[in-house]
Structure 1
Amino acid sequence: MAVLVVLLVGVLTLVACITTFVHQHFNYWKRRGIPHEAPSIPFGNTSELMKTMQISDIFKRTYFLFRNKTDGPFVGFYMYFKKMVIVTDIDFAKTVLIREFDKFHDRGIFHNEVDDPLTANLVNIEGQKWKTLRQKLTPTFTSGKMKTMFPSVLNVGDEMIRVFERKISQSKDSLEITDLLACFTADVIGCCAFGIDCNCLSDPKAEFVQMGTAALTERRYGKTLDLFLFGAPKLAAKLRMKEYVQRVEDFYMNIIRNTVDYRVKNKVKRNDFMDMLIDMKLKYDNGDKLNGLTFNEIAAQAFLFFLAGFETSSTTMGFALYELACNQDIQDKLRTEVDGVLEKHNGKLDYDSMREMTYLEKVIDETMRKRPVVGHLIRVATQRYEHSNPKYYIEEGTGVIVPSWAIHHDPEFYPEPEMFIPERFDEEQVKQRPACTFLPFGDGPRNCIGLRFGRMQVIVGMALLIHNFRFELHPTKTVVPLEYKTDDILLSSKGGIHLKVTRRINESSVTA
């Protein structure tokens, strides 16, 4: 009996301690007097996450709930047991991303370079390791390097046009374009990042694109433990947990190993991203560890290059074509520019003529403004931050969210934000807006290193498609307004995008 009493007291004491901890945790922002929505236990402010709302939409709702209604630059937020702040002041966004980058230079994302080497990429790693790797990789993304890769992108673009033509002849009703565009970007990046012809356009079920989809959607432990990787990334790494399923890791590691071995052995040069990575690996192998990279490091960067450009670029193209189908006058104006530039250059699309398509760039920018695939930026305080209002300090380890989707829809910066108006990106209008009001690629030292490549493949794909086809809403199959998946961290269309696509008749069909 005495033992049972002791056990009962122990259990009650443990329950009391846990209850006290939970109560203290979920009263953190209230004790500090920081505005926030009342949390629910254990979800915090994310009870709709993966159910009825996309994560960036939750941040967007919070932004507009408190925007211009508080005395500070951010509000409190709970994502399960993780304390975060959501930036509500655009000048503070600049502080986080640029001015005081030294206090917010990490993302706090899970990575385990020993057990899960593909996670140790430029997006995830932290501190000095990130800084050193960024410096090593920056020269591989210059405009000169992009120019050498342009012909490879164009070749894949020509194949995409042929595939669209075949699909139109097979189905005269409508096309689901998101899968076709994903095959285009997979082929481009497979060629430039891995040096292989993965033929996803000719075979949509190709293993390369299936593994890419698996890398984005499948998790080793399921969604519940995936939240643990997000909420306690350092502990998860110490527990030797892994993010990607084994078949994804094996597939990409084998492809990269085989590609590197073949090129080194046969002295093959293709002027692509993989060439640059191999050069850095050879430097490391030859003793130049300062400028070189290990095999695992180049594998992680090649994998990142694929993931970062595969879905983001294809989804942006899908959103752009949807908007052009909704706005035929804008589509006509864009087609006039594309046709005119091609005619001026004797039907030839090259790196220099591509850069003359300024209205196309505005269409792409407005697409990324209205529907940013990455709808929020995440940082973590690496040291205590003090604000001019002493109440608004941020403790080390606190997550910081810059809600880019919300900022892009703030009427203070973009009047009538739900309207699709490419002219917002006329030079004079851009100059009138504050810094950090356009964040599809982030900003500051930790912005997207591959933005030049991402823009290049989107411009090439869009120019070829608009030159060769007309895109219209289908009366029954196109969903208006567009709906988004709620269980994806990236912004993507629910059920794809179905459009009526027709070949331009009696007009030039030159593609390159």
Structure 2
Amino acid sequence: MLFDSILGNIVGVVVALVTITIAYFKWKYQFWKRHNVPYFEPTIPFGTSIPPFSKRKIGAGLLAKQQYEEMKARGWKHGGLFTWLTPTYFVTDLDYVRNILTKDFQHFVDRGMYVNEKDDPLSGHLFNIEGQKWRNMRMKLSPTFTSGKMKMMFNTLLECVPSFLVKIESDRVNKNPIDIKEVLGCLTTDIIGSCAFGLECNSFKEENAPFRENGRKFFDFTKSRIIKSMISSNFPAVGKFLGFGITPPDVTEFFMKVVEDTVKYRESNNIVRKDFMQLLIDIKNNKLVAEEGVKQDGTTLTMRELAAQSFVFFVAGFETSSTTMTFAMYELARQPEIQERLREEINTVLAKHGGKVTYDAIQEMKYMDTVINETLRMYPPVPVLFRKCVKDYKVPDQDVVIKKGVKILIPILGIHYDKDHYPNPEKFDPERFNDVNKSKRHNYAHLPFGEGPRNCIGMRFGLMQSKVGLTYLLKNYKFTVNKKTIQPLKLKVHAFIPAVEGDVWLDAEKV
């Protein structure tokens, strides 16, 4: 009898808790209705933004693209989503996108990313940090990405090319299909390692070179990492309490040691290089020179902060550029007429520069620009862009106020495939980006690097190394798609930066 009574009480408590939980979810899921924003009906407990891990069939970029298309079909300029209990403001109107990224940027300064510098020191980098800390860091790092600094680093970049060409030639001679993403990843790893750290990464000489291996590990999003990331991004206090970090511990250990050893060696031996690492060392020691145009406000960097900035430059620089070049080479291999036109431009421009690949030469390659821009349209390295509302914002021409703390999602992939902006969007057509066609489109219809004060700081560097890689490939070889490539391409579901199932394999023939 006593047991039955206890059991009955337990059941009653459980039923009450479940009822309260469901009621709380239903109340939270009325958020967008209360704020007069049209929204997709969420389901308990996952909301509308991200299906359960086991049910994911497509990546976050393609999911956002589908949601964008559905909102456009309903005539919505914006809409509401939920990621679990977290409301997300989803933007489809390009004027609204412009307002958020640029015109009314002061309301949307932060990205709303999870940062846990205690347990994951490499997470405290420029892409993630917020508020005044971000402003100070952005101001101090900007001088290293000017066109003048790019030109200065150009010869260092070119020193990484010979090993790259040896690998391509070896595969050609041995009639091996070329895993173009892997080869280009080795190239960009060596370039970033040299230009950022002043170190030789030896990605082509060592099968498991440490920089290359740790770069791969960072982008290998295992199931446990994704679950931790989902919990931390939606419940940051819980993530910090549990000590969740996004960077794998062995990757953190490797990069922290590399940075500490590099800084110690340079300072002990009075070595000064004109590279990214030197700028960070100067900030650490408050030694920025006046000609850089940087305000010396007395703030410095800790070793952890210095390592975090170096880390994001490395992982963002090698992966996004190698991905962009991979997709460009795939499309060029499929369309030999476009490949040949680009090759002709390369040869014509280089002939004007004595046959040498120079910084000025690649800046003259206008058709190259259109090819890369079209690649970035079809395969943006970051398919969705996030912001966070930092103070209440009245949406122009709407009876809507976006409340402080709400996350903002801008569906870059959806915008890039919108037929209103790009007719026949599945077709690879560089002519979309000639001067005439560009002038006909909204300025915010192409957002591979974001826009506004918080756009990609390394854009110039990424474009520079992508142009160099494509130039050397196409001036020496003709490429076709190898039968090992699975077509049509299928993107990996859980990749943070778009990656292809089965990889992209090409055949090379000497020009």
Using structure 2 for the length normalisation, give the TM-score: 0.93
Asked if the contact 2:219–2:496 (Cα under 8 Å) also holds between the matched residues in 1, the reply is no
After the TM superposition, which residues 330-341 of structure 1 pair with which residues of structure 2 at under 5 Å, given as runs? 330-341=338-349
How far apart are the structure 2 equivalents of 1:412 and 1:108?
30
* SS of match in other structure, 1:43: coil
Q: Structure 1 unaligned segments of length 5 or more: list them.
A: 505-512
RMSD: 2.1
* SS of match in other structure, 2:479: strand
**Residue 30 and residue 256 in structure 1: after superposition, are their counterparts in 2 closer, same or farther (change >3 A)?**
same
Percent identity over the alignment is 37
How far apart are the structure 1 equivalents of 2:500 and 2:84?
26
How far apart are the structure 1 equivalents of 2:83 and 2:157?
40
Q: 2:104 aligns with which of 100, 103, 106?
A: 100
Question: How far did residue 31 of structure 1 move?
Answer: 5.1
Asked if the contact 1:194–1:259 (Cα under 8 Å) also holds between the matched residues in 2, the reply is yes
Comparing 27-36 and 253-262, the one that deviates more = 27-36
- CA-to-partner distance for each residue in 1:419-448, whole Å, 9 max, x for gaps? 111121112222221121111100000000
How far apart are the structure 2 equivalents of 1:437 and 1:295?
39
Q: Structure 2 unaligned segments of length 5 or more: list them.
A: 289-295
How far apart are the structure 2 equivalents of 1:478 and 1:15?
50
After the TM superposition, which residues 32-431 of structure 1 pair with which residues of structure 2 at under 5 Å, given as runs? 32=35, 34-45=37-48, 46-47=50-51, 51-67=56-72, 69-70=74-75, 72-170=76-174, 172-218=175-221, 221-237=224-240, 239-283=242-286, 290-431=298-439
Q: Which residue of 1 aligns with 2:293?
A: none
How far apart are the structure 2 equivalents of 1:313 and 1:466?
17
Question: How far did residue 393 of structure 1 move?
Answer: 2.5
Comparing 462-471 and 45-54, the one that deviates more = 45-54
Question: How far did residue 389 of structure 1 move?
Answer: 4.7
After the TM superposition, which residues 428-507 of structure 1 pair with which residues of structure 2 at under 5 Å, given as runs? 428-474=436-482, 476-504=483-511
Question: How far did residue 37 of structure 1 move?
Answer: 2.8
Q: Which residue of 2 aligns with 1:507?
A: none
Counterpart residue type for residue 211 of structure 2? F
How far apart are the structure 2 equivalents of 1:471 and 1:127?
47
How far apart are the structure 1 equivalents of 2:469 and 2:111?
31
Number of residue-to-residue matches in the alignment: 500
- CA-to-partner distance for each residue in 1:373-425, whole Å, 9 max, x for gaps? 21111111112221245543222222111111111111211122111111211
How far apart are the structure 1 equivalents of 2:13 and 2:146?
63
Q: Which residue of 1 aligns with 2:291?
A: none
Counterpart residue type for residue 105 of structure 2? F
Question: How far did residue 143 of structure 1 move?
Answer: 0.9
Asked if the contact 1:369–1:438 (Cα under 8 Å) also holds between the matched residues in 2, the reply is yes
Asked if the contact 1:121–1:304 (Cα under 8 Å) also holds between the matched residues in 2, the reply is yes
Using structure 1 for the length normalisation, give the TM-score: 0.93
How far apart are the structure 2 equivalents of 1:235 and 1:431?
47
How far apart are the structure 2 equivalents of 1:208 and 1:321?
24
How far apart are the structure 2 equivalents of 1:428 and 1:314?
29
Asked if the contact 1:163–1:202 (Cα under 8 Å) also holds between the matched residues in 2, the reply is no
* SS of match in other structure, 1:470: strand
- CA-to-partner distance for each residue in 1:314-365, whole Å, 9 max, x for gaps? 0100000001011111100000011111111111111111211111111111
* SS of match in other structure, 2:88: strand
How far apart are the structure 1 equivalents of 2:176 and 2:216?
27
Counterpart residue type for residue 197 of structure 2? F
Question: How far did residue 480 of structure 1 move?
Answer: 2.4
- CA-to-partner distance for each residue in 1:17-36, whole Å, 9 max, x for gaps? 21111222234334555333
Counterpart residue type for residue 188 of structure 1? I
How far apart are the structure 2 equivalents of 1:218 and 1:18?
31
Counterpart residue type for residue 435 of structure 1? N
* SS of match in other structure, 1:67: helix
